Amino acid sequence: MKFTWFNLMPWPYLPDDFREKHRSVWVDIDSRLFDPAKSHEVYNSHMDLLEYASTLGFDGIGVNEHHQNGYGIMPSPNIIAAGLARRTKDVGLVVLGNSIALYNPPVRVAEEFAMLDCISGGRLVAGFPVGTSMDTNYCYGQIPALTREKYAEAHDLIKRAWNEPDPFAFNGRYNKLRHVNIWPRPIQNPMPIHIPGGGSVETYDFCIDNTYSYSYLSFSGYIRAKALMQGYWDRVAARNAPDASPYRAGFAQTICVAETDEEAERLYSEHVSYFYNRCLHVYGGFADAPGYRTIKTIQTGALSQYAPPGEGGYSKLTWKDLVDGGHVIAGSPETVRQRMEELIKSLNVGNIFCLLHVGDMPKEKCMYSTKLFAEKVMPKLRNMFPDYADDNRFWCKPLAKRVTPGISTNEMSMAAAVGGKD
Amino acid sequence: METKTIDTHHIPVRYFEGGKGQPLVYLHGAGGILAGDPILTKLAEKYHVHAPLLPGYGDSEECGELRDMLDIALHTSDVVDALGLKDPILVGHSMGGMIAAEMAALAPHDYSRLGLICPAGLWLDDHPIPDLFAMLPYEMPQYLFHDVEAGTKLMTAGVALDDPEWLKGFLVQNARQMGMAGKILFPIPDRGLSQRLYRVRAKTVLVWGDSDRLIPPAYAHAWKKAIKGAELVSIAEASHMVTLEKTDQVVAALAKLA
């Protein structure tokens, strides 16, 4: 199993009446709700938590890209990952990922991912999302019906930029480049790639054909994800993939651990409520620009995950509803272990993106939950797939020998070494 | 109106044809058009009307090869050629007006009469056009109709939002049609037409609803300024769907071209 401690970086100061007074947490969210001075602490707390998780035995720490978004204040995950590369040692840096259709030209992604891989000593796990419609179309102005074609071209360009040893010309529809020849080059080849998807058939095939891991980053939990993930595994079988390794798939799950089930509710319910009621308050008109999803995908009946369940959406769901419905896995270590086991088995997923920070959860509570998960839950879930224990196609392969960042005591005395005058 | 299909270089194109008289080509707006649309029926009383559907509209095939304004304008010229028409009266509503104006700018000697009904295609910073692509269906009537209540009734006839099969069909149709429209209208309906309108030589009539809340009348004046000799006909108590709200007056205004 690969467990990644994943941080969405929500803004924790959305007001109590956010739902009533504001139409959306995303795209046209009121900029006056963002306080730059407060964000200094918010950013650093979130990064502290990612660093903390790296000391507890998680395989990876994860970041992602959103724009103009109150629950994800990380338009550039690469900036965060660069900070983490220096401050962490062995953990995988999961950047899930860069919306490659948004970079002009996309060789920028090839370059930045190569830099992250080199700085971290080969610890990068890269992701290439198409990007949500909110980010890609409404915030970054990409034409919905052309987004996927542009994405596919960007992908081909990045792969070639990493792989071809000599300068080449790239005459794409969206990118005209006479001299592609990136410096630096990544350590890892092939790079482990994860593709976040939301149920589009084309993305299933893209992952299968390229040996990429398919990640379903849902907020509605593992029970509702069953049909979608089954669709993926059916496709894996239908296209005669050489294996059905669980590492071909990943799933994001909100998790809250306490000593007892009651304590979990007492400690975390307000933060869970903050997330589902304020952070997921997305205006319906931004959920899915026409043309963004393919006809084939719409015909499968998959609604956008930003179309909330039932009448009144998440605001009507209580702690009990959210926990019973599997949106959130919460409770004592034993309760959480049981449900995680159910999740892993029923979805057949080897990569878990653990959403252990939820909504406006303060740092200390998050550390408490994270520590309990790392110490009392994670070890018991380690060997769920013994047959695939050696499948490392979808994970980073760091250099055996890596430097320790920072100036050493020896280097401090360089003055002496060069016959210093001190 | 008869529903027919004609081959073009890219794709077979569905079109509605009816009436007798001077040939007239009618290009629909982003919402599409049905064979029984009152504006077509009325125009067919005076003209030989051809109303081609943009690929993806109605039951017509989609066309991935059409990606931008130039592709779409040239394709529509291909349709006119395929129909065997020479210098038809070229009329377009909203997005259709944008395409018609582009065609008349690209080939100024091919089109001598141009009818533009509240066309898209220009952008004025002081009068931003509402984001059609971020609107929920129930929000649309207020932008499209002068009589919002009547417009709502018109738009919700036959709508069954709580029926998943109906909803799926609606989402598919919306993705096909508005996905295509997005290629020239998203996120801002400006593809540089303002730089090319000086080329239009056609006698041009602009028709605009006084209470158009989607493309407000400020745009009418910008268009009038951009096309030499263009005549503006303003219609009272009508919004963007002036073709439905004041069909007779629109047809009367277009008669200036005949």
User: For A251-276, what is each residue's pLDDT tens digit?
Assistant: 999 999 999 999 999 999 999 999 99
For chain A, give the mean pLDDT. Answer: 94
Q: Which of A43-57, A81-95, A403-417, B93-107 has the lowest mean pLDDT?
A: A403-417
Beta bridge partners of A352: A3, A251
Closest-CA distance of chain A to residue B228, Å: 32
CA–CA distance, A267 with A417 (Å, rounded to integer):
55
Tens digits of per-residue pLDDT, A317-356? Answer: 899 999 999 999 999 999 999 999 999 999 999 999 999 9
Structure tokens at B112: 């001598």
> CB of A140 within 8 Å of any CB in chain B?
no
The region, left, alpha or beta by phi > 0 then psi within -120 to 50, assigned to residue A272 is alpha
Looking at CA atoms only, how far is residue A299 from chain B in angstroms?
A: 7
Q: Min CA distance, B151 vs chain A (Å)?
A: 20
- Work out the percent of chain A whose per-residue pLDDT is above 90: 87
Report A:25-54 residues touching B (Cβ under 8 A).
27
What torsion, rounded to 10 degrees, do the Cα atoms A289, A292, A297, A298 define?
20
Q: Answer whether A293 touches B (CB < 8 Å).
A: yes
Cβ–Cβ below 8 Å for B186 and A289: yes
Contact yes or no for A290 and B136 at CB 8 A: no
Do A272 and A321 form a contact (C-beta atoms < 8 A)? no
pLDDT digits (tens, 9 = 90+) for B41-64: 999 999 999 999 999 999 999 999
Q: How far apart are CA A96 and CA A113, in angstroms?
A: 11
Please give the interface size between A and B, counted as residue pairs whose CB atoms are below 8 Å apart: 66
Instruction: Read off the pLDDT of each residue in A222-251 and give the average, rounded to a whole number.
Output: 95
A283 touches chain B (CB under 8 A): yes
Of the candidates A285, A290, A299, the beta carbon closest to that of B168 is on: A299
Q: Residue B148 corresponds to which tokens in the numbers above?
A: 């919002």
Mean pLDDT, residues A148-166:
97
CA distance B48 to A4: 66
Per-residue pLDDT at A408: 85
Classify each residue of B221-257 as buried b or exposed e, where b means 16 or more C-beta atoms within 10 Å of its C-beta.
ebbbebbeebebbbbeebbbbbbbbbbebbbebbeeb
Q: Which residue has the higher pLDDT, A72 or A308?
A: A72
Q: Identify the helix (H) or strand (E) that includes residue B98.
A: helix B95-106
A419 Rama sector, left if φ>0, alpha if ψ -120 to 50, beta otherwise: left
Give the residue-averaged pLDDT of A47-53. Answer: 98
The answer to whether A152 faces chain B, any CB pair under 8 Å, is no
Residue A410: per-residue pLDDT: 78
pTM, full prediction: 0.94
| Phi (first) and psi of residue A312, to 5 degrees | 80, -10
pLDDT of residue A421: 55
Looking at residue B114, which CATH number applies to its domain?
3.40.50.1820
A422 pLDDT above the threshold of 60: no
> Which pLDDT score is estimated for A420?
59
Lateral strand order in the sheet of B47-52: B2-6, B13-18, B47-52, B22-27, B89-93, B113-117, B203-209, B231-235
Of A138, A292, A294, the CB nearest to B134: A138
Give the ipTM.
Answer: 0.94
Task: List the single residue in A with minimal CA-CA distance to B169.
Answer: A299
- Tell me the C-alpha distance between A193 and A250, whole Å: 11
Burial group, residue A409, by CB count within 10 angstroms (0-12, 13-18, 19+): exposed
Residues in chain A with CB shorter than 8 Å from the CB of B187 are 137-138, 141, 143
- Gap between the Cα atoms of A122 and A189, Å rounded: 10
Q: With an 8 Å Cβ cutoff, is A291 touching chain B?
A: yes
Question: Is B133 within 8 Å of A137 when comparing Cβ atoms?
Answer: yes
B2-6 and B13-18: which strand pairing?
A: antiparallel
A104-141 pLDDT, tens digit per residue, is: 999 999 999 999 999 999 999 999 999 999 999 999 99
Phi/psi for A45 (5° steps) reads: -65, -45
Question: Phi and psi dihedrals of A230, rounded to 5?
Answer: -65, -40
What residues make up the domain containing B63?
2-257
More confident residue, A415 or B218: B218
Number of domains in chain B: 1
**Residue A311, pLDDT above cutoff 60:** no
Residue keyed to tokens 């007006």:
B97
The whole-angstrom separation of Cα B253 and Cα B208 is 10
Residue-wise pLDDT tens for chain B (258 aa)?
999 999 999 999 999 999 999 999 999 999 999 999 999 999 999 999 999 999 999 999 999 999 999 999 999 999 999 999 999 999 999 999 999 999 999 999 999 999 999 999 999 999 999 999 999 988 999 999 999 999 999 888 888 877 888 888 888 999 999 999 999 999 999 999 999 999 999 999 999 999 999 999 999 999 999 999 999 999 999 999 999 999 999 999 999 998
Distance in Å, alpha carbon of B233 to nearest chain A alpha carbon:
33
